[in-house]
Structure 1
Amino acid sequence: MELNNNICKPTKHCKNNWKVRFKQWNTQTVILIPVAAAIVCYINSLEGDFLHDDIFAIKSNRDARGESSLSEVFYNDFWGKPMVDKTSHKSYRPITVLTFRWNYYLSGGHPYAFHVTNVLLHAMMTGLLVYTCMDVFLLHSRVCLMTGILFAVHPIHTEAVSGIVGRADVLAGIFFLISFNLYIKSLDVRWQKSSVLVPEVQSLTLLCLSLVCGGLAMLCKEQGITVLGLSALYDVLICSRPGLIRILKGRKLRDGVVSLTKRIGLLCLVGVGFLVFRVWIMNGQMPLFQHQDNPASFSPHFLTRCLTYSCLWMYNGLLLLFPSTLCYDWQVGSIPLVESIYDLRNLATISFCIIMASLMWHWWKSFDCQSTSDATLTSLLLLVLPFLPASNLLFRVGFVLAERVLYIPSTGYCILISQGIHYLLDRFPYRRIHIVSASTLVLLVLIGKTWNQNYTWISRESLFRSGVKTLPHNAKAHYNYANYLKDKGSMAAATDHYQVAVSLYPDNPSAHNNLGTLLSNKTQAEYHFREALILCEDHKGAHVNLGSLMFDRGEQEVGISLLQRALEIDPNYEEAFLALAGMMVETQDWDEADRLFQSALKNNHVSAQAYHNYGTFLHRRGEETQALEFYQRALDVDPGHIVSIIDSARCLKNQGRLVQAEHNLKQALKIKRDDATMDMLGVVYFEMGRSREAILLYEDVLKESPNNTNLLFHYSQVLAKNLEFRKSEVALQQAIRLSPNSIEILTQMSKILGQQARHKEALPYLDHAITVAQRTNDKQALMDLFLQHGDHNKDLQQYSAAVKSFNEALGLGGNTPNVHLNLGALNHIQGKYAEAKQHYLLVLSMDPNHTIARDNLLKLERVLSQENSKL
């Protein structure tokens, strides 16, 4: 190949001209290609919502929402609980929380900005990795490029990048590499040219900055502290390798050893200091994990723990090598415990150990070589050290397997694979087309897998459905999917998945509790609530649900005590406050109910449900204006809180503000088409005088819900108002078939028949309604029914029956001018003048200006005077 003015001209004698062309690529190009790949590969994740842990770490976290002071961020855990709280998860990541806070401030809480930040941080991490490979590890440009692209597109990173809370791993990785780079830069650069046996520190500033960045990495996520171990081992085994070899061969070496010892001592001291700080900030408490979080760590058998842990390490290696099966949660049922040495999975574990041992042997064989670039050792250090905190070797972790924890270790894997491909290209140059083609094909497959996996992180439905599909024996996947279905309103499907979750893992108290909330059989529901409390005596949700069930069953004291216990467990538990307040409303302890609602709002002033429930409380007390104000506050917090939209429309309708009520109902229907909302809109149309629109609306919705009695009832009312009595009667007959004991529907039928002067047909419906009301002892309903019964009998000229009905109404508290007027007129007609006069006088005593009563009384007195004159 001829070189002329920096242009490569291949000759017929040069077979490896592609190598020369590759070497001419500048540093910027080698970095920018993987960075671009990282951005492009995750561009379809930007439309994702807040999912899974994002809800608790961001949406429900006052620290992330910017509602707490900055100082609180440094005293609370990743989820917003004080680190000293015994229920805290003990995950201390204030730097990550501050980035969430920044995103929330800029975007107003919209997830798009969070996802953009995650993708940009992943691109930054990719660029840093390539730079580190080139400038520190001194790897070939081809290896750096392949490492960067492989890291950028590897599907194992989807949880860390597409899942917003995965930012903790990405940020930790960035500070991890910055810290490592600064540490190496702080050393004398001559060691890279093998002119120095043991390098010395040339910049104390860079060394201190390295330690600071190591601390920041730990404050992003706990495993960031392992950068100190990487720096120490890389310093000893690679930077100071010539001097170490000289010492091992028995030769004396004094120059540089003191400096190396000081550096390693400083790293150890700082590492211990970081660990002491972590123990102090946790108040000396370890996180409290449950059996379902990490079953192997709870096994009483040492052999089971050893075999399962090693098997899990093998699974992590397989996920890096073959990322075909990916899931957001690998809890109970995903990977069964290895409880016997005869388990076939042990063969895979042994194979994995042999591979790792072979790699170590390969490095050891070349230990005494004077090479300062050892890709094998570098790969193993990056692969193993950052994974140690998740290995269960040092302490119990709260998961079986988590793809996100492989984000930093995958850097070592990517270097190892890229170095292997580089070796193959050098070893078999005549096969380079096949090797490059195969490598390209693998990368395309990985890109396709990552692109497709990003879609699973777009919504709750796609994420939880993928978990059930990928790991059908994972009880947690079924439980999470059931929670989604429950929130969506698919109660039957949710019940099925809760039952599957309970059958797969009967010891999950939350699955029992949530299943109980969906069961119509109260005995079965109570069983599951009590089972949840047996499994976890401090399960606050089960206390609330069991307490509510007992209260509804009439055991009010027991129910209230259970809810009070829930508040003892968690003094800020919103659901307990709201449920207990509801109980106080039922017992008409209005002051206590008001206090409890106020406490719920004080603890969480961005709770749409709390604002809504307080609004409902005020509405029940007749304070509709104030109720409307709190419904609006709920909508300010959550514009899509459909219950508040509907209830605010109900308030507006009651106040006669029908145009605003119509607007709110149409807004609710855009969110979710619901029969009850359509029904209320029809009523609003009716009250606005738009009967034809109301009729068309009811006819449209009844096509989909022909057996909805409320729709049929209101449809009949509109038709009757429009004088379409025949159609109104048909609708009511259908409603009566569906609800034969509805007093309201039976009464409406009698009214429609009365409007058509079909009083004789109307009476049987009223008789049935009276029977139902007597059975339920509803005195107000009975009084109204007897009044209507009297009116129908009066129109039929069945005066004795009419008098009997009005007397029944009078005995039920119907001591009104209208009742006495009717009784006076009926007695008057029947010639019972004394009784008639008595009733007329009672009317006038109640209303002295009652014209009809006065006129009737005058007529009666003339009749009496005529009779007296005849005598």
Structure 2
Amino acid sequence: MLRQRQRMDYPVLAACLVSLCLYLNTLDADFAYDDSRAIQKNQDLLPETPLVNIFFDDFWGTPLTHSGSHKSYRPLCVLSFRFNYALGKLNPWGYHLGNVLLHAMVTAVFTCLAQKVLKRKFATYVAGLLFAAHPIHTEAVAGIVGRADIGACLFFLLTFLSYMKYVEYRTSAHMASHRWLYVVSVCVFTVASLLTKEQAIAVLGVCATYDVFVFHRVKLQEILQLHIFTMSHFRGLCEGLVLLATCGISLVATRIYFMGNKPPEFAPSDNPASDSDCLMTRFLTYHFLPTLNIWLLLCPSILSFDWSMESVPLVERLSDYRNVYTVIMYISIAYFAQVILKQLNQTVRNPYLGLKTQMNGNGVHHNVNNGAEILYSMCSSPGKRRLVLMAVAVILMLFSAKTVSRNFAWHTEEKLYTSGIKVNPAKAWGNLANVWNEQGRTSDAEEAYRNALRYRGNMADVHYNLGILLQEQKRFHEALESYQRAIHYRPKLSMAHLNLGILTAQFGQNENAAKIYRHCADLDTSGLKDPRLHEATKISCLYNLGRLYTEEERYQEALSVYEEALKRRPSHYAPQSLYNMMAGISEVYSKMGDLVTAERWYRKALKSKPDHVPAHLTIAKLLQKKKQYEEAEKWFKKASAIDSKDASIDHHYAQFLTETGRHIEAEVRYRLALSKTTPDFELLFNAANAFRQNSRDLDAEGLYRKAVILKPELPSAHMNLGAILHINGKLAEAERSYLSALKLKPDDSMTMANLQKLRNLMANTERKGTP
């Protein structure tokens, strides 16, 4: 008996090994698709986030009660991600390994179920291997967020196996009392499946169907006549149905409660059929989609990372050829249902033993184990067996090759989105554009964004991302139009409002920019997917509005705006993200002469985040203004100790040293800053001034030349370059630089005076050179 059980476990081991081998190449894959929001940006994975939060937030870290939540309640899946984060932070290898191991477990449990149902080793081998190798599983296993599907499937199967055991023990006179152990198992695994992915609640319906139609072979007539509630031999069935109903109602009620008693809101792109106003379109499309899914099970030639956004075009007319496939599917279902019902109607029930028996021609009962006997009899001849073996082998090889090939598509986002262009071109092009933009392939990214909009012109996110790309290329007017289109298609898109305000301010339209910032800050962001991001963006709008007022020297209004931002800071918003605003407040206080209050704000910032470099630098500058030079230098050194690679620290420290007359030390600091970064205009200009003071005239000349290239529109850049060229004896070049400065600022007295001195020198030089 032990040997037989060991042999029966070989299909399980074989299926597990195949599943592991086929998915080993996913371990090197990167994060992709929804992994960014579900893992990389999900605050619920962080150790500092209270663990209890995962039971009140959705799969993406958004509170379930928020109107923008998709109500995807999967705390067990998020808990597994949190475990991965604790072990390896954001290294994708561990997350992929978790998916592969989980898939192997699901394969093992499925094969055990097949073994229990089919009761034949060959059939169990075929079922287990087909499940392990089927390419349709790649989207769940290779995509990390697919863990919700794998985990739900595991608990689904365990629930079903537990219910089968419960039914078996329920009918046994000697083991009836042990059935309650399996009742507990059914409830626990059902809860676990529902907490992994919400669709797993369907397992209760599967258990009920098994109990009614497979185990008890209840006829449709008996259901319609309510015999299952009145006849004594159905008492065990009623117990099971009550158990399932109680479990289901309790779980659904709890789930609704956690959702805040509100249904989820889906965008039209998520479910285009439901968004259609035409009843016929909804009816035809809903009936075609199961047909497509069944076809993918039979022939998984086309797979996709996403099937939204009308990747399956709506069936809008009766003349659509796809309706033929729908009709064929339902005719096939009706035919097989008829065959099954006919088989069931030929059986009779033994109310004492709970066994199913069938009448033979002589009126003698014999046991019927399962419907698979019919299939086995079809393969009785050796020739047909060889044909079946060959067919199974070919299918397994094709499935395995397709699975491995599809896994490679998940290795990088670029490969994944490229593979999805044929199925979902709008989303694939949009995501591919983001990847290329991050890689610096801006021309390819722009073309991809425009390709996405050609397929679906109302995608606000794509318009917004295109706007960012154009803004980085200094194509400001085109970027402005992209942001306006994004707002047109999604008026609540706060990031587009923020960037629109920034661009408008750059154009010098401060009044319009202020209106945009204020409108953005007061947006109703309910219904949006990422409320944390939008609430943070609204605070950023207030920060920019305060900066705008500060630049216009409207200090009291700026101060009022900053105080409003602090008061409106949402509870989930990390305090350190407000440091820039606190710096703005301190700057306002400084300009109004209240250095004590400014210092208090910065010290408060440091109390929240002791290693915040900008606060260290600003405190140092405040102490410098108060002429407390020793204390100020201590803060500069503290900042340098926190981040020795930050060139801005050396820059500010060098400015301090220059002001206190320590020019040699300032030069050393400037050289450090220049070696650590690609210098901006301010660093080049200030360093050139310091080198000039130390008589490093040639070094200063080189830096001034670079500064002029960066900001040729500034008259001071040309004037200082002219001055150093004047000193270095390059008189003709110096004259050109002075003239460029005067062209930009004709009334600058210093430049005119220097030009006059230069021309006098040039005239004297010319006279001395004349014989």
Bin of the TM-score, shorter chain as denominator length: 0.7 to 0.9
Q: Of 57, 64, 68, which residue of structure 2 is paired with 1:83? A: 64
SS in 1 for 2:420: helix
Q: Of 183, 190, 204, which residue of structure 2 is paired with 1:214? A: 190
Cα distance in structure 2, aligned partners of 1:488 and 1:344: 43
In structure 2, list runs of 5 or more residues that go unmatched.
350-369, 591-597, 617-641, 656-665, 766-771
Cα distance in structure 1, aligned partners of 2:57 and 2:409: 31
Cα distance in structure 1, aligned partners of 2:466 and 2:184: 55
Question: Letter of the aligned partner of 2:154 in structure 1?
Answer: I
1:688 Cα deviation after fit: 4.2
Cα distance in structure 2, aligned partners of 1:527 and 1:652: 40
Residue in 2 that maps onto 1:292:
269
More deviation, 591-600/327-336: 591-600
Question: Letter of the aligned partner of 1:352 in structure 2?
Answer: M
Structure 1 residues 539-567: Cα deviation after superposition (integer angstroms, max 9, x where no partner): 32333233333343322431221221237
Question: Letter of the aligned partner of 1:346 in structure 2?
Answer: N
Cα distance in structure 2, aligned partners of 1:438 and 1:515: 50
Q: Of 343, 349, 357, which residue of structure 1 is paired with 2:326? A: 349
Output the TM-score relative to the length of structure 1: 0.66
Residue 163 in 1 paired to residue 114 in 2? Answer: no
Question: Letter of the aligned partner of 2:87 in structure 1?
Answer: L
Residue 204 in 1 paired to residue 180 in 2? Answer: yes
Residue in 1 that maps onto 2:743:
771
Structure 1 residues 569-613: Cα deviation after superposition (integer angstroms, max 9, x where no partner): 558622332343133224325756765886899756779987789
Q: Is the 8 A contact 1:567 1:576 kept in 2?
A: no
Evaluate the alpha carbon distance shift between residue 236 and residue 712 of structure 1 in structure 2; reply closer, same or farther with a 3 A threshold.
same
Residue 541 in 1 paired to residue 501 in 2? Answer: no
Cα distance in structure 1, aligned partners of 2:582 and 2:405: 44
Residue 172 in 1 paired to residue 149 in 2? Answer: no
Q: Of 299, 315, 318, which residue of structure 1 is paired with 2:295? A: 318
1:225 Cα deviation after fit: 1.0
Cα distance in structure 2, aligned partners of 1:120 and 1:684: 59
Residue 577 in 1 paired to residue 539 in 2? Answer: yes
Q: Of 257, 261, 274, which residue of structure 2 is paired with 1:280? A: 257
Cα distance in structure 2, aligned partners of 1:597 and 1:113: 40
Cα distance in structure 1, aligned partners of 2:121 and 2:388: 17
RMSD: 4.8
Residue in 2 that maps onto 1:331:
308
Q: Is the 8 A contact 1:615 1:631 kept in 2?
A: no
Cα distance in structure 2, aligned partners of 1:215 and 1:310: 30
Structure 1 residues 271-302: Cα deviation after superposition (integer angstroms, max 9, x where no partner): 22222222222223211112111111111111
1:73 Cα deviation after fit: 2.1
Q: Is the 8 A contact 2:84 2:94 kept in 1?
A: yes
Q: Of 726, 744, 751, which residue of structure 2 is paired with 1:754? A: 726
Residue in 2 that maps onto 1:838:
none
Q: Of 445, 449, 454, which residue of structure 2 is paired with 1:503? A: 454
Q: Is the 8 A contact 1:84 1:281 kept in 2?
A: yes
Cα distance in structure 2, aligned partners of 1:76 and 1:249: 45
Within a 5 Å distance, the mapping from 1:519-598 to structure 2 comes to 519=470, 522=476, 524-552=478-506, 553-554=509-510, 555-566=512-523, 573-588=535-550, 589=555, 591=559
Cα distance in structure 1, aligned partners of 2:721 and 2:515: 44
Evaluate the alpha carbon distance shift between residue 292 and residue 784 of structure 1 in structure 2; reply closer, same or farther with a 3 A threshold.
farther
Q: Percent identity?
A: 27
Q: Is the 8 A contact 1:577 1:599 kept in 2?
A: no
Residue in 1 that maps onto 2:108:
127
Q: Is the 8 A contact 1:328 1:463 kept in 2?
A: yes
Structure 1 residues 781-810: Cα deviation after superposition (integer angstroms, max 9, x where no partner): x455345435424544679xxxxxxxxxxx
Output the TM-score relative to the length of structure 2: 0.74
Residue in 1 that maps onto 2:758:
792
Cα distance in structure 1, aligned partners of 2:47 and 2:614: 22
Structure 1 residues 649-701: Cα deviation after superposition (integer angstroms, max 9, x where no partner): 232344359xxxxxxxxxxxxxxxxxxxxxxxxx999954999xx8xx99xx9
Q: Is the 8 A contact 2:213 2:219 kept in 1?
A: no
Evaluate the alpha carbon distance shift between residue 305 and residue 150 of structure 1 in structure 2; reply closer, same or farther with a 3 A threshold.
same
In structure 1, list runs of 5 or more residues that go unmatched.
1-5, 7-22, 373-414, 635-643, 658-682, 702-707, 800-871
Cα distance in structure 2, aligned partners of 1:464 and 1:314: 25
More deviation, 359-368/340-349: 359-368
Residue 441 in 1 paired to residue 394 in 2? Answer: yes
Within a 5 Å distance, the mapping from 1:178-577 to structure 2 comes to 178-188=158-168, 203-241=179-217, 254-368=231-345, 423=376, 426-468=379-421, 470-471=422-423, 474-519=425-470, 522=476, 524-552=478-506, 553-554=509-510, 555-566=512-523, 573-577=535-539
Q: Is the 8 A contact 1:56 1:79 kept in 2?
A: yes
SS in 2 for 1:161: helix
Residue in 1 that maps onto 2:87:
106
More deviation, 120-129/269-278: 269-278
Question: Letter of the aligned partner of 1:306 in structure 2?
Answer: F
Structure 1 residues 311-350: Cα deviation after superposition (integer angstroms, max 9, x where no partner): 2111111221221211111122422111111111122222
Question: Letter of the aligned partner of 1:501 in structure 2?
Answer: A
Structure 1 residues 187-221: Cα deviation after superposition (integer angstroms, max 9, x where no partner): 33597xxx99xx97751221132123112211111
Q: Which has the higher contact order (CA 8 A, sep 6+)?
A: 2
Cα distance in structure 2, aligned partners of 1:502 and 1:607: 38
Evaluate the alpha carbon distance shift between residue 208 and residue 686 of structure 1 in structure 2; reply closer, same or farther with a 3 A threshold.
closer
Residue in 2 that maps onto 1:59:
40
Cα distance in structure 2, aligned partners of 1:684 and 1:354: 86
SS in 1 for 2:521: helix
Evaluate the alpha carbon distance shift between residue 133 and residue 370 of structure 1 in structure 2; reply closer, same or farther with a 3 A threshold.
farther
Structure 1 residues 101-131: Cα deviation after superposition (integer angstroms, max 9, x where no partner): 2222232343322222111111111111111
Aligned residues: 675
Q: Of 20, 24, 33, which residue of structure 2 is paired with 1:39? A: 20
Cα distance in structure 2, aligned partners of 1:26 and 1:498: 57
SS in 2 for 1:655: helix
Q: Is the 8 A contact 2:269 2:310 kept in 1?
A: no
Q: Is the 8 A contact 1:631 1:648 kept in 2?
A: no
Q: Is the 8 A contact 2:536 2:573 kept in 1?
A: no
Residue in 1 that maps onto 2:362:
none
Question: Letter of the aligned partner of 1:750 in structure 2?
Answer: G
1:515 Cα deviation after fit: 3.1
Q: Is the 8 A contact 1:59 1:65 kept in 2?
A: no
SS in 2 for 1:203: helix
Cα distance in structure 2, aligned partners of 1:593 and 1:250: 70
Evaluate the alpha carbon distance shift between residue 737 and residue 564 of structure 1 in structure 2; reply closer, same or farther with a 3 A threshold.
closer
Cα distance in structure 2, aligned partners of 1:507 and 1:83: 27
SS in 2 for 1:458: coil
Cα distance in structure 1, aligned partners of 2:10 and 2:584: 63
1:500 Cα deviation after fit: 2.5
1:242 Cα deviation after fit: 7.8
Cα distance in structure 1, aligned partners of 2:259 and 2:348: 44
Residue in 1 that maps onto 2:632:
none
Q: Which aligned segments of 4 or more residues in structure 1 are displaced greater than 6 angstroms? A: 242-253, 419-422, 596-602, 605-628, 644-647, 683-686, 708-725, 727-740
Q: Is the 8 A contact 2:169 2:176 kept in 1?
A: no
Cα distance in structure 1, aligned partners of 2:681 and 2:279: 64
Q: Is the 8 A contact 2:464 2:483 kept in 1?
A: yes
Q: State the structure with more CA Rg.
A: 1
More deviation, 105-114/317-326: 105-114
More deviation, 609-618/253-262: 609-618
Q: Is the 8 A contact 2:492 2:525 kept in 1?
A: no
Structure 1 residues 143-163: Cα deviation after superposition (integer angstroms, max 9, x where no partner): 112211111121111221121
1:507 Cα deviation after fit: 2.8
Within a 5 Å distance, the mapping from 1:113-152 to structure 2 comes to 113-135=94-116, 137-152=117-132
Evaluate the alpha carbon distance shift between residue 506 and residue 737 of structure 1 in structure 2; reply closer, same or farther with a 3 A threshold.
closer
Cα distance in structure 1, aligned partners of 2:332 and 2:53: 47
Structure 1 residues 229-256: Cα deviation after superposition (integer angstroms, max 9, x where no partner): 1111101111112899999999999453
Residue in 2 that maps onto 1:648:
646
More deviation, 477-486/125-134: 477-486
Evaluate the alpha carbon distance shift between residue 768 and residue 171 of structure 1 in structure 2; reply closer, same or farther with a 3 A threshold.
same
